[in-house]
Structure 1
Amino acid sequence: MDHAIYTAMGAASQTLNQQAVTASNLANASTPGFRAQLNALRAVPVEGLSLPTRTLVAASTPGADMTPGQMDYTSRPLDVALQQDGWLVVQTADGNEGYTRNGSIQVDPTGQLTIQGIRLSVKPGRLPFLKVQKSLSRQTGLSLRLTLAIRPIPSHR
């Protein structure tokens, strides 16, 4: 009898967790750049001689939904939209690398590129540069495509 209670309790607990993930995904659906968390439940066999038929429910987070969302024009000149698997590298408060898809880039008073006050990270020996592609259309007018890329600093030998 005890194993039936634990199985039901485990399933209820994991279902509650899955509902929390779904609620978070719905609450952030209109947040620019938000990626929905994926959630999966799986059966895990219990190991032991007297427990050959018992299983527990375990949750796993296989990742995030990286499907590209809608791109909106913001009129802010440094805003970027990352396509496919692109990530921006930032320097976290403890000095480590962090990754973000938030493209709201700003220039701080010292001239550093930042995202929400966190510095964009550029590895030593590398320079950021912008590549601009212009196109003109009768329907949409002038369109600019800016590409922020990192290139090695040329060595002067």
Structure 2
Amino acid sequence: MDALIYTAMSGAERAMRGQQVHANNLANLDTNGFRANLELAQAASLPGYGYDDRHMSQIQANAVTDRQGALHQTGRELDIAISGNGYFAVQGPSGEAYTRAGAVTLDADGSMTVNGMQLLGEGGPITLPPHRKMEIGQDGTVSVLGAGADAQMQVIDKLKLVRAEASELTKNEAGLVVARNGQDLAADPTVQVKAGHLEGSNVSAVEEMVATMSLNRTFEVQMKLFKAADDMTSTGNKLITG
């Protein structure tokens, strides 16, 4: 009977952790550029002698969806969104990382940042000189119009834009997208940028709610299995001691 108890309890734990994943997705429904997490579960044998017939359910919440969120026009020259697949490169807390968030701000020294992290170009972090106007081209080229009266648009750098399959990506402890193999992704010239726009979250509220309700039912079933295993164990003990 204890084999059934292991199955029921690990299944219940998987359901609870899955609910946490979907709750986090719903919490970021209005977060620009957020990529929804996926819950992946797999069977794992219980280590130790005599436990070959007992298996646990292990959940992994480190997969992301690559579905594009809705693009919203803002008209702000520092707002950028990626059209199609791809990511912006930023300097994260533990190295290079990737994001779809495009609400760029300028620090006092002219550094381009996203959510407090420096935006990376092909030459490293991008810092703009004093200027009257800036433009971000479809290919990610960053140009500025200098402060002088006779100044002309000058290319400063080009955003580092990358692309990878969703299966090759995961999220780090800061919630940023990184490559599963731990390596930096190479720049991809085919990634397109749309200036004056922001991308919304790719979370579907309907899908998340349906998944949550399904996990609630799964949890209830696992608890019934646990109760059934406990009842069978109690009955077996009575027969033995009877």
Unaligned runs of 5+ in 2: 128-134, 142-157, 160-242
Equivalent-residue separation in structure 2 for 1:71 and 1:78 (angstroms)? 15
Contact 1:87 1:99 in 2 (8 A): yes
Offset from partner CA, 1:62-120 (integer Å, 9 cap, x none): 511110011001221111111333211222356x2222211011222212211133211
Superposition misfits of 4+ residues, deviation over 4 angstroms? 125-129
| TM superposition shift of 1:46 | 3.8
Query: Structure 1's 57 and 88: CA in aligned 2 closer, same or farther, altered over 3 A?
Result: same
Counterpart contact for 1:3–1:54, Cα < 8 Å: yes
Identity of matched residues, %: 32
* Structure with the greater alpha carbon radius of gyration: 2
Alignment length (residue pairs): 136
Structure 1 pair 63–84 and aligned structure 2 pair: CA distance change class (3 A): farther
What is the deviation of 1:127?
Answer: 7.7
Looking at structure 1, the residues matched to 124 and 20 of structure 2 have their Cα atoms a distance apart, in angstroms, of 44
Cα distance in 2 between the residues matched to 1:92 and 1:62: 18
1:61 — aligned with what?
A: 61
SS at match of 1:72: strand
Name the CA shift for 1:101/1:79 in 2 (closer, same or farther; >3 Å). same
Q: Which residue of 1 aligns with 2:110?
A: 111
Task: Write the distance in 2 (CA, Å) between the matches of 1:126 and 1:32.
Answer: 22
In structure 2, what is the Cα distance between the partners aligned to 1:18 and 1:107? 38
**Match for 1:55: what amino acid?**
H
1:105 and 1:125 mapped to 2: Cα distance? Answer: 16
Cα deviation digits, residues 36-77 of structure 1 (max 9, x gap) = 100022222346664443221111235111100110012211
Evaluate the alpha carbon distance shift between residue 84 and residue 63 of structure 1 in structure 2; reply closer, same or farther with a 3 A threshold: farther
Q: In structure 2, do the counterparts of structure 1 residues 92 and 5 end up closer, same or farther at CA, with 3 Å as the change threshold?
A: same
Identify if the C-alpha distance between structure 1 residues 7 and 147 changes in structure 2 by more than 3 Å, giving closer, same or farther. Answer: same
Q: Which has the higher contact order (CA 8 A, sep 6+)?
A: 2
Question: Normalization by structure 1: what TM-score?
Answer: 0.71
**TM-score scaled by length of structure 2:** 0.49
Output the CA distance in 2 between the equivalents of 1:51 and 1:125. 53
Alpha-carbon RMSD across the aligned residues, in angstroms, is 2.8
Aligned pairs for 1:1-157 (under 5 A) are 1-46=1-46, 50-61=50-61, 63-93=63-93, 96-124=95-123, 130-131=136-137, 146-149=138-141, 150=158
Gaps of 5+ in 1: 132-145, 152-157
